[in-house]
Structure formats: structure tokens, C-alpha cells
Chain A
Amino acid sequence: MAHPVVRWQALVRDPDQAASFYAATFGWSVDDRNALGYRAIPSAGRGIGGGIWPIPDGQPMVQLFVEVPDVEAALAAASAHGGQIVMPRQVLPDGDEMAVVAGPEGIAWGLMRPRA
């Protein structure tokens, strides 16, 4: 795969409740020792890691993140092919870059470029 899916994110109304549910059901543990208090759920070897974030609006959902070498270029490609930019490129406090685009039917994908 040219640009791999590298992370998932549960966008929920009650992140504490979601974290407890995932811990009890899947045995996942949360690490929120970071600047944004992001509830990161690292992968334990197999599979991809993810995290939990409070949903700003709308229905709770799971969002996937695609790793790209250049976030701005990926946004431009998405726009040129009829996608919508949901969130422009941001540089997170840990140095990762991210953005969110929606495809033709509105499915929102995160784009990310890990810090160099």
C-alpha cells in the first residue's frame, strides 16, 4: 500500500466511559501523559495503535489515519479529486502533522505525517 493506514481514533462523547469499556472488553490500556491529554492506546506488537478523542460535533465514530509523506500535498490531491478539507494541516505539540479530509461520500479520513 502506497500510503498505509497507521492509526485509528474513536471520537466519542464520553472518552472516560469509552476508555473503561475498551479496557474491560479488549484489555487495552490508555496513556494520556502528553500535552493534549490524548488518550493514546498503543499497539502491543501486532495491529495498529489508536486513541480516544472527544467528538466536537455529530455522531460518535471511528476515524482512520493514513500516513502521507506530505500533508499539504495530500490535501491538495484530495481537493483536486472532489474531496473536502474537514481540518487543514496542523502541527501537534508532539511534532506530528495531521489534517482531515472527507471523500466523495463524506467519510472522513485523518492524514498524518509523523515527526521527523
Chain B
Amino acid sequence: MLREEFERRRRSNPRFSLRAFALVLGIDSASLSQVLRGRRAVSPRAAAALIGRLGLGVAEIDAAANESLRSSHERRLLRQIAVPGFVPNTRRLARRLRLRGDDVNAALTRLLRSGRLTMLSPARWAVVPEERR
């Protein structure tokens, strides 16, 4: 959502820089750059605060916070799957990650659909590196 807003502002003003956008958001431009490139995660609360500064509505803030939460579930799930001795079991994953089983399964489905994860056999799941997607 931040990236879309940045691009929207650039379209209406091609001189609108990353630095200017960082000033609007009240964060430093290096952090913003990392966030926009997906190299840095933003907590749901921080995402809502940033979007609040853009003057967006409650529904958009909710959507952004939800998106941020879902990304966090996916990242945590991938980290857990990469641990040696991983057992493909939703209840176990939910306990480890302190999530609801349905949240684990929804994140799992998004990862499978986007090619970030693959179920190779009943007992073996593999995290797919970016260059092989």
C-alpha cells in the first residue's frame, strides 16, 4: 500500500522523491527504501501509524494492517518450515507460532499459490528460493 501511494504521488508529481515521501511519513528515507523494496518488515501498528499520516481512511488502515499481519504470518511460517526436523502438521505449527490453525492454513495456501513454498512429499515441504520461483 505504501508503494502504491508513493507511485500515485510520483505520477501526479514526477519530482516527488523518496526523501519527500519519507518526510511525509515521518521516518528516515533509508528505512522507507527498505520497506518499499520488501527488505524490511513493518509491524501492523507501525503500518497503521504510517498510513494514518497519509490521511487515509479507516478501511484502508485496516486493510494495510491486515496485509502486514498476513505477511508476518507467512514469514514466520517459512522460518519454521526451514528448521531442520520440521514436521508438516498445522496444529504443531499453530502451537509453535502461537497462531490459530486457520491462520496457519490460510498463510500456507498463500505461500503455495505464490510459489514460495512447495509440498514435495507427504513429509517434506521446501521453501523455494526467490530465483527459482
Whether a CB of chain A sits under 8 angstroms from the CB of B123 is yes
Whether a CB of chain A sits under 8 angstroms from the CB of B98 is no
The stretch from B4-12, B14-22, B86-94 touching chain A is B86-94
B-side contacts of A87, CB under 8 Å: 109, 112-113
Most chain B CB within 10 A, of A56, A86, A87, A94, is at A56
B55 CB to closest chain A CB (Å) equals 27
Tell me the interface secondary structure of chain B in the complex.
Answer: helix
Whether a CB of chain B sits under 8 angstroms from the CB of A47 is no
* Contact residue among A16, A37, A91, A94 (Cβ-Cβ distance under 8 Å from B91): A37
Whether a CB of chain B sits under 8 angstroms from the CB of A53 is yes
Task: Give the complex CA separation of A6 and B107 in angstroms.
Answer: 25
Task: Give the complex CA separation of A37 and B108 in angstroms.
Answer: 13
B-side contacts of A42, CB under 8 Å: none
Whether a CB of chain A sits under 8 angstroms from the CB of B13 is no
A90 and B112 contacting across the interface, CB-CB below 8 Å: yes
Number of A positions contacting B (CB below 8 A) = 20
Task: Give the complex CA separation of A100 and B110 in angstroms.
Answer: 12
B115-128 Cβ-contact flags toward A at 8 Å (1 or 0): 10011111100000
A87-B113, A90-B112, A93-B122 are known contacts. Are A53 and B90 too (CB-CB below 8 A)?
A: no
A35 and B115 contacting across the interface, CB-CB below 8 Å: no
Whether a CB of chain A sits under 8 angstroms from the CB of B60 is no
A54-B103, A54-B105, A92-B119 are known contacts. Are A35 and B88 too (CB-CB below 8 A)?
A: yes
A-side contacts of B102, CB under 8 Å: 15-16, 54
Task: Give the complex CA separation of A100 and B114 in angstroms.
Answer: 12
Task: Give the complex CA separation of A92 and B90 in angstroms.
Answer: 12
Chain B interfacial positions (CB closer than 8 Å to A):
88-91, 94, 101-103, 105-110, 112-113, 115, 118-123
